[in-house]
Structure 1
Amino acid sequence: MEEGLMLGFHLTFLSATLCVLLVCSVAALLLRKWMGNRCYLIAYACYKPPDERMLNTEASEYVISKSDPPPESLRFQVNVHIKSGLGQRTYAPNSFFQENVVSSMSEGWLEMQETFVATLDKLFDKSNIRPCDVDILIVNVCCFAPAPSLSAWIVNHYHMREDVRTYNVSGMGCSAGVIALGLARDLLKVHKNSYAVLVSTENLTMNRYEGNDKSMMMSNCLFRVGGSSLLLSNKAVDGSRAKMELVHLVRTHLGQNDQAYNSIVQREDDEDVMGVSLSTYLIEAAGIALKNNITTLASKVLPISEQMYFVYNLLCIKLLKASVKPYVPNFRLAFEHFCIHPGGRAVINGIGKSLKLTDYDTEPAHMTLHRFGNTSSSGLWYELAYMEAKRRVKKGDRVWQIALGSGFKCNTVVWKVLKKPDPCEYNVWSDCIDDYPCTTRNPFELEYKQRFNLLSKQS
């Protein structure tokens, strides 16, 4: 009898133990799968060229004059420059400062190599990893795709492993940084325990426009040298040292709309001069793309009360045909920080107005445009660096990055801050952050308007 009871006890204990082990094993597998799908930002670095590459208003006029443009073309470009919101400390490539602007392959490569080395050296130093530790490398440059590829040059320069997975993203415009980020996230879901490096920049040397089409002169006035490099990881052990975690990424493409598709196009003008054309439909395309994007994102980030009111308002308009204004959700309830693509003053103001943001919310975008200009896909990281330099970013904060680009595309990403930034860490704004925020009005505006006889036209 006692032996039977003991046997029953042992069987029960064994069954219970097996059940506990099974539950623990399943939980461990689920936890490993969940942790493996996380995408951490370990570190990032932005490029600041040497001071001798600064392009103030006077230097900008000098560079424009080198191509000997007609007076009307020179007048137009200078006028756009002084109204652009760009300051006196943006940067241009080395080729712009030569006796004649040189758009050669060697100068184009030089511009890329300087950006790559400056940002990647800082990135590896910040993160304490070696180039041979990188498993995935993604480079995005819209209008420069040489052979060997840009990623191949980085592999060669840093002697990376022969099994490193490399990708080049081209032709995707200023929002390519988020597209490449989405690619990195998806690759990290497949390749466990991996590091991914993402490099974003643009090439001005090979894409300077020297014709007289006003729609194509705009890019000369807004784009400047800049770049960024990011280190991403899906390793559970990196959760304790990561700066941020990627929470959401939403992509919107209006390529099926002919007007939106043609709002930013690289083409030849009537005189067969290559350049990038910006149409008057650009701002409207940006508004439509942003609206479609936030309609998808809203359900993922907004409080239930905001979502319900948004849906109710939409039903009133669509089904009941009520004459009420579309409700704009209060996204300040979902995010503490906003990084708006610093493509131009009109873009920043338009998005800020659409989302009912405050001057404080749009300040990083305006100041980034003023200090560094439109650096294409890397601009969002200069904005984050600005907020970190201002000590605005705290643990638990949510950051919304909004990128716009040719196609036409609106791509957005949401980050959660995992730790407060180290105030001693190198920051691209370190030497000038006390000067900001500042007025974005060009100090030479009146002088140039008088010299180019623009006063009467403005009035």
Structure 2
Amino acid sequence: MCVKITAAAKALPPYWRETKDILPFLDTWLIGQETRFQRKVRKIFENAAVDKRYSIMTPAEVFSQTSFEEKNAIYARESIKLGETALTNALAKVGWKPTDIDYLITVSCTGIMIPSLDAYLINSMQMKQDVVRLPVTEMGCVAGISGIIYAKNFLKANPGKRAALLAVESPTATFQIDDYSMANIVSAAIFGDGAACVLLSSHDDDEGPEVVAEEMYHFYDAVHMMGFSLANSGLQMILDKGVTETIAAHFPAIVHPFLEKNRLKIDDISHLIFHPGGRKIVEVVQELFGKLGKNIDDTKEVLRQYGNMSSATVLYVLERFMEKQPEKDTYGLMLSFGPGFSAQRVLLQW
């Protein structure tokens, strides 16, 4: 019995802007700041390798003085819409019904909902009443791969079942209007909103790449590097400037032992499904993989078209590979980094 990924699908919010169209809003926000600082912030946006991003709010709403309560209410309302669209799109790809799902995992870190998103979808989509729910929060960008790991373990223990992993994120809802720190600015420059759904199965009749192996890797003494602090104004970004160097230092220990456990080397990996955390992280990983004769072109393209959508982003990269229908017996490596600090990996075989 094996666990397979049968489909991946995305859903996008109603509002979008190219980065050049956001700059006028940025200039207004920066009025009163030093000229040199204003130029620096503009360059961060212009050099972020993000051409376009989507949002649950208009730019005017993002750059407005709204409370945590108001922005979180928008997050909750729009998350339900996006989640249902992403799940519907994924089900349509394989001809499943909502009642075919036995295990529903929802992941998000950019807002607060109790009850969680899955409860609303069970009602609106009339899913089965005994569906197993797992809402996952507080894991940031790695949660997309975390959800695949949790789904794989559930399905391996329950043959003939099906799971849906749903990632819905709105980093724009966390933008802090009164915070001129580099963490808030860099976050605004690289992040966008979006949702994605991945369907997995332990049914013999379902097809797709097999989840061969999965593993988490936790960095010691690095909890300060990435995350959110909960302020009266909302979720305030924490982003340490040493993230890229830390990833580079740990990279060999993250990749090679994991492959060796599965009797593989990097040469055996045809498809790199890497989470685009931001331009600097992408450049570091591109250099590291490039030395190994690999590329992360699809990762760069997702970052360019959508920005970093936290947990959903790596699933956008996965969807691109699923649509290519890779050759049989080829391997793919999924990789994400996130708060903790942690790296999470999944090995796929088509």
Q: In the TM superposition, what are the counterparts of 1:186-335 in structure 2 within 5 Å?
A: 186-210=153-177, 211-238=179-206, 242-254=207-219, 256-257=220-221, 260-267=222-229, 274-303=235-264, 331=266, 333-335=267-269
Deviation of the 1:97 alpha carbon: 4.3
Measured in 1, the distance between the counterparts of 2:120 and 2:40 equals: 38
Residue 397 of structure 1: aligned partner: 330
Q: In the TM superposition, what are the counterparts of 1:169-184 in structure 2 within 5 Å?
A: 169-184=136-151
Measured in 2, the distance between the counterparts of 1:104 and 1:352 equals: 35
CA distance 1:78–1:404, shift in 2 (3 Å): same
Q: Deviations over 1:148-197 (max 9, x none)?
A: 11111111211112211101110101011111111111111223321110
Residue 322 of structure 1: aligned partner: none
- Checking the alignment, whether the CA contact within 8 Å between 1:116 and 1:199 is kept in structure 2 is yes
Residue 33 of structure 2: aligned partner: 71
Measured in 1, the distance between the counterparts of 2:183 and 2:250 equals: 21
TM-score scaled to structure 2, two decimals?
0.89
Deviation of the 1:205 alpha carbon: 4.5
The amino acid across from 2:217 in the alignment is: T
SS at 1:201's partner residue? Answer: strand
Measured in 2, the distance between the counterparts of 1:245 and 1:70 equals: 55
Measured in 1, the distance between the counterparts of 2:82 and 2:73 equals: 14
Deviation of the 1:252 alpha carbon: 0.3
Residue 349 of structure 2: aligned partner: 416
Measured in 2, the distance between the counterparts of 1:194 and 1:388 equals: 21
1:341 lines up with 2:275 in the alignment: yes
Deviation of the 1:372 alpha carbon: 1.1
SS at 1:403's partner residue? Answer: strand
Measured in 1, the distance between the counterparts of 2:108 and 2:250 equals: 22
Deviation of the 1:74 alpha carbon: 4.4
Q: In the TM superposition, what are the counterparts of 1:417-436 in structure 2 within 5 Å?
A: 417=350
For 1:93, which of 47, 53, 56 is the aligned residue?
A: 56
TM-score scaled to structure 1, two decimals?
0.69
SS at 2:184's partner residue? Answer: helix
Deviation of the 1:207 alpha carbon: 0.9
The amino acid across from 1:408 in the alignment is: F
Measured in 1, the distance between the counterparts of 2:62 and 2:242 equals: 37
Measured in 1, the distance between the counterparts of 2:63 and 2:146 equals: 36
- Checking the alignment, whether the CA contact within 8 Å between 1:251 and 1:411 is kept in structure 2 is yes
CA distance 1:357–1:364, shift in 2 (3 Å): farther
Unaligned runs of 5+ in 2: none
1:118 lines up with 2:80 in the alignment: no
Q: Count matched residues.
A: 343
Identity %: 21
Measured in 2, the distance between the counterparts of 1:273 and 1:104 equals: 9
The amino acid across from 1:351 in the alignment is: V
Q: Deviations over 1:95-138 (max 9, x none)?
A: 53449645533311233123212211111211211111211000
- Checking the alignment, whether the CA contact within 8 Å between 2:22 and 2:59 is kept in structure 1 is no
Residue 57 of structure 1: aligned partner: 19
CA distance 1:92–1:154, shift in 2 (3 Å): same
CA distance 1:282–1:203, shift in 2 (3 Å): same
Alignment root-mean-square deviation, CA: 2.5
The amino acid across from 1:41 in the alignment is: I
SS at 1:348's partner residue? Answer: helix
Deviation of the 1:411 alpha carbon: 0.5
Measured in 2, the distance between the counterparts of 1:114 and 1:357 equals: 42
SS at 2:49's partner residue? Answer: coil
The amino acid across from 1:220 in the alignment is: A
CA distance 1:147–1:40, shift in 2 (3 Å): same
- Checking the alignment, whether the CA contact within 8 Å between 1:289 and 1:409 is kept in structure 2 is no
Higher relative helix content: 1
The amino acid across from 1:380 in the alignment is: V
CA distance 1:76–1:150, shift in 2 (3 Å): farther
Deviation of the 1:357 alpha carbon: 4.9
- Checking the alignment, whether the CA contact within 8 Å between 1:94 and 1:111 is kept in structure 2 is no
- Checking the alignment, whether the CA contact within 8 Å between 2:11 and 2:195 is kept in structure 1 is yes
Work out which of the two has the higher radius of gyration on C-alpha atoms and give 1 or 2: 1
CA distance 1:388–1:159, shift in 2 (3 Å): closer
- Work out which structure has the larger RCO, using CA pairs closer than 8 Å and 6 or more positions apart in sequence: 2
Residue 297 of structure 2: aligned partner: 363
Measured in 1, the distance between the counterparts of 2:89 and 2:17 equals: 24
- Checking the alignment, whether the CA contact within 8 Å between 1:86 and 1:369 is kept in structure 2 is yes
The amino acid across from 2:310 in the alignment is: S
Measured in 2, the distance between the counterparts of 1:381 and 1:246 equals: 14
Residue 435 of structure 1: aligned partner: none
Deviation of the 1:387 alpha carbon: 4.1
The amino acid across from 1:345 in the alignment is: R
Measured in 1, the distance between the counterparts of 2:102 and 2:127 equals: 9
Measured in 1, the distance between the counterparts of 2:172 and 2:76 equals: 9
- Checking the alignment, whether the CA contact within 8 Å between 1:200 and 1:378 is kept in structure 2 is yes
Measured in 1, the distance between the counterparts of 2:62 and 2:106 equals: 31
SS at 1:192's partner residue? Answer: coil
- Checking the alignment, whether the CA contact within 8 Å between 1:335 and 1:397 is kept in structure 2 is yes
